[in-house]
Structure 1
Amino acid sequence: MAVKSMDASVYRKRAVYGRWAVACAFFFNGFLVGSWAPQIPVFMTRLNISEFTLGLMILIFGVGALVAMPWCGYLIGRFGSRAVVKGFAFFCSFSLLLVALAPNLITAAPALFLFGAVIGAMDVAMNANAVEVEKQLSRAVMSSSHGFWSLGGFAGGALGGFLIEAQGHLIHAIVVTAIAIVLGLVAFRHMITEDKPVVHEKQKLSFPTNPLIYLIGLMALFSMVPEGSVLDWAALYLQQEKGADIATAGLAFAAFSGTMSIMRFLGDGVRNRFGAVRTLRISALIGASGLLVASIAPTPWIAILAFAFSGLGIANMVPIAFSAAGNQPGTSSGIALSMVTLMGYSGILVAPSAIGFVGGRTGFGPIYMVLAALLIVVFLMANLAATADRAKN
């Protein structure tokens, strides 16, 4: 009995270490994405490109991520999520530096495609690893794991603005690379993995037949488009339309990510108390009001505060949508989640490029006003999230 008790203790200790290792992976990924945000205005200036061309570059980043995600699923089945996270994290560490070193569009385009591909593939793998941690700990860690992603985005955005202002974009990219390498060496060796990875060589592609899945996917899409738009365009919006310097402009996404991280750490408790539908409705209203104020803000600092307020609302909208999809009766949770995830991630990876095309002609103030309206649509659709509460039963 003592041996079995010791084995159980060792197994749980490994799982606890694995929980913090996967949290570090989320922070690592978010830190790199957040570090890209303050690089965007410099990237546009040093390559002397228009908003239209910058939109194409951001689209290339998104396409890279979406192309890599399905292949990552195969790799996880063959090698396990731990190996895939560590492998892609290695390439992620140097990806921003490659973009910063690119001297022209011919080299910047493939660098951004690779950046998006390794970030997207690592995203899939670390989510899969978080699921395995949940199984071994017998408790949820997904919401707080996404909180660590937002915390990483906050750290990357906050550091980036000031470091670029003081030392330039290349020194910033080198520092980010060094931090990423240290994080990987210290934490990722503690990651756990699946006991027996399985390769599904003849797995067939199928789509949900339940139309509610696609409506929930639409909610995820409308919830993630604002997040991608703040990441890719808020700094440029504050710099060009509100007269902010680079350091101040970089705080827009940092503030947004900071409040998102706080609410993601608190999100499970809020949802358990108020229920998924009510939480989603309140969240949508908070997110919409923040974006609306940001769109008409007279000063950069009011806009930054408004983006931060919107982050409080947007933080838990996508987790609720994912949970609602995974608990749809009569539908495989895997099939439902794959579709909702694909629809949702297109909002953060692809839609912002189209927003850039429009924003270059209309300005970004009206864009954020329209995004506020999208969150009102989610508010009206909130009843579809009722099945999210099945996860607690």
Structure 2
Amino acid sequence: MDAATFRRRAVYGRWAVASAFFFNGFLVGSWAPQIPVFMTRLGISEFTLGLLILVFGIGALASMPWCGYLIEKHGSRAVIKGFAIFCSFSLLLVALAPNVISAAPALFLFGAVIGGMDVAMNANAVEVEKKLSRAVMSSSHGFWSLGGFAGGGLGGILIEAHGHLAHAVVVTIIAIAIGLIAFRFMITEDAPVRHEKQKLTFPTNPLIYLIGLMALFSMVPEGSVLDWAALYLRQERGADIATAGFAFAAFSGTMSIMRFLGDGVRDRFGAVNTLRISALIGASGMLAASIAPTSWIAILAFAFSGLGIANMVPIAFSAAGNQQGTSSGVALSMVTLMGYSGILVAPSAIGFVGGKTGFGPIYMVLAGLLVVVALMANLARSADQKVR
């Protein structure tokens, strides 16, 4: 294959994996406006709804360790396509569930295929980075955020106009169309390298777990802002409901913008420097939010923190996927599992503690976790490896 053809396929693959991130985020974003209807339709309490949402998270975490084996055996492209088929119909399955007994396994499956695809598309983004010899991970996560925004925005309009079932059908059609048009251009590893022989195994390189810890410490603050920032502003800073809602909006808005800018920043300054500075920015914003005297200052602080946190997880994923001696799928399955625990599991514990101590001290502790990531930044050196 000549250089021009190699480059062209890599560029097509870059936009194909961006489409995969958008696809995944679009489905997750489409679930969000379904939740109030889901609760009313099944006649369940907030407590039961919380348990069902936890089932979604458990499904995601349960599937992630298996993805390393699947990617190692079949390549990330085949795994993405396989999970995408199930993802396309998963929201429709939840929308059709008539009761809690059927909704629970439907949500578990939804979480499992979304989580499995998440691992595979991150592995594919690492491969694109190798072939293009430049970073694409941060902007890929930006496309996930963009997909979530599109799914949530379109969902509210369609459900209001045509009902939850019609919305789920439209989402299914859009997902299938994205897959058919974009995923055929996806690249894959030249030959899946089987470093680990067992059917299901865990990485033997301890550095993988340290990188996973960095991902965890980076994602716990993100999950905490998502789940508890509005309540913090409402209860402890006297904000009204409308103002409290701006906390996560400002945080996610700056994260989305910075993720699209992050690849260029990382290519210029290197992964280690970018991660260290990003972690310190995130910690500064989180600390300022914890001691802010007014709700609007806290909102600005959360927005500033989002600028830093935006690119921390993408760098950690790139570092894991480039570890020598371990396949990118095996490494990423573990780092993704550890990282996403920070969004799917940790906020429950944070809510319990915050109810006893208040959330100001919680955000102060989370700032400390981000400082720890800054101190560990040298472990992300492998994120700058660009090897064909």
TM above 0.5, yes or no, is yes
Q: Which moved more, 1:265-274 or 1:201-210?
A: 201-210
**CA 115–308 in structure 1, closer or farther in 2 if over 3 Å, else same:** farther
1:385 to 374, 377, 386: 377
How far apart in 2 are the matches of 1:100 and 1:237?
Answer: 32
1:108 to 97, 103, 106: 103
How far apart in 2 are the matches of 1:178 and 1:168?
Answer: 16
**Partner-residue secondary structure (3-state), 1:66:** helix
Q: Does 1:122 align with 2:154?
A: no
- Kindly provide the CA deviation profile for residues 324-375 of structure 1, in whole angstroms up to 9, marking residues without a partner as x: 66789x996967765443321211233345556x49x949x94586245313
Q: Which moved more, 1:196-205 or 1:45-54?
A: 196-205
Q: Which moved more, 1:338-347 or 1:77-86?
A: 338-347
| Partner in structure 2 of residue 373 of structure 1 | 365
| Partner in structure 1 of residue 337 of structure 2 | 342
How far apart in 1 are the matches of 2:43 and 2:58?
Answer: 23
| Partner in structure 1 of residue 127 of structure 2 | 132
| Partner in structure 2 of residue 220 of structure 1 | 215
**CA 182–206 in structure 1, closer or farther in 2 if over 3 Å, else same:** closer
How far apart in 1 are the matches of 2:27 and 2:233?
Answer: 21
8 A contact 1:28–1:152 mirrored in 2:
yes
**CA 314–159 in structure 1, closer or farther in 2 if over 3 Å, else same:** farther
Superposed displacement of residue 153, structure 1: 1.7
How far apart in 1 are the matches of 2:51 and 2:312?
Answer: 28
Superposed displacement of residue 314, structure 1: 2.2
**Partner-residue secondary structure (3-state), 2:191:** coil
**Partner-residue secondary structure (3-state), 2:67:** helix
8 A contact 2:285–2:305 mirrored in 1:
yes
8 A contact 1:263–1:315 mirrored in 2:
yes
**CA 164–225 in structure 1, closer or farther in 2 if over 3 Å, else same:** farther
**CA 283–305 in structure 1, closer or farther in 2 if over 3 Å, else same:** closer
Superposed displacement of residue 108, structure 1: 0.9
How far apart in 2 are the matches of 1:233 and 1:276?
Answer: 25
Superposed displacement of residue 386, structure 1: 3.0
8 A contact 1:97–1:173 mirrored in 2:
yes
**Partner-residue secondary structure (3-state), 1:194:** coil
**CA 297–39 in structure 1, closer or farther in 2 if over 3 Å, else same:** farther
How far apart in 2 are the matches of 1:103 and 1:192?
Answer: 40
Q: Does 1:89 align with 2:88?
A: no
How far apart in 1 are the matches of 2:225 and 2:168?
Answer: 21
Q: Which moved more, 1:103-112 or 1:342-351?
A: 342-351
| Partner in structure 1 of residue 48 of structure 2 | 53
- Kindly provide the CA deviation profile for residues 178-226 of structure 1, in whole angstroms up to 9, marking residues without a partner as x: 221221121111111223235554378456675x765654442232124
8 A contact 1:153–1:254 mirrored in 2:
no
Q: Which moved more, 1:261-270 or 1:56-65?
A: 261-270
Superposed displacement of residue 162, structure 1: 3.9
Q: Which moved more, 1:152-161 or 1:318-327?
A: 318-327
| Partner in structure 2 of residue 284 of structure 1 | 283
Q: Letter of the aligned partner of 1:388 in structure 2?
A: A
8 A contact 2:227–2:347 mirrored in 1:
yes
- Kindly provide the CA deviation profile for residues 138-157 of structure 1, in whole angstroms up to 9, marking residues without a partner as x: 22222221121122122222
**CA 307–41 in structure 1, closer or farther in 2 if over 3 Å, else same:** farther
**Partner-residue secondary structure (3-state), 2:376:** helix
Superposed displacement of residue 172, structure 1: 2.7
Q: Which runs of 5+ in 1 are unaligned?
A: none
**CA 317–194 in structure 1, closer or farther in 2 if over 3 Å, else same:** closer
How far apart in 2 are the matches of 1:155 and 1:69?
Answer: 25
1:29 to 8, 24, 33: 24
* Percent of paired sites with the same residue: 71
- Kindly provide the CA deviation profile for residues 261-303 of structure 1, in whole angstroms up to 9, marking residues without a partner as x: 211121234454464322320123235545877x9748xxx99
Q: Letter of the aligned partner of 2:279 in structure 1?
A: L
Superposed displacement of residue 111, structure 1: 0.7
How far apart in 2 are the matches of 1:179 and 1:391?
Answer: 33
Q: Does 1:151 align with 2:146?
A: yes
**Partner-residue secondary structure (3-state), 1:196:** coil
8 A contact 1:34–1:155 mirrored in 2:
yes
Q: Letter of the aligned partner of 1:33 in structure 2?
A: V
Superposed displacement of residue 33, structure 1: 1.3
How far apart in 2 are the matches of 1:304 and 1:327?
Answer: 36
Q: Does 1:263 align with 2:255?
A: no
**CA 52–208 in structure 1, closer or farther in 2 if over 3 Å, else same:** farther
TM norm structure 1: 0.78
1:19 to 10, 14, 18: 14
Aligned residues: 376
8 A contact 2:72–2:327 mirrored in 1:
no
C-alpha RMSD of matched pairs (Å): 3.9
Q: Which runs of 5+ in 2 are unaligned?
A: none
- Kindly provide the CA deviation profile for residues 237-269 of structure 1, in whole angstroms up to 9, marking residues without a partner as x: 99999556xxx97x8766654432211121234
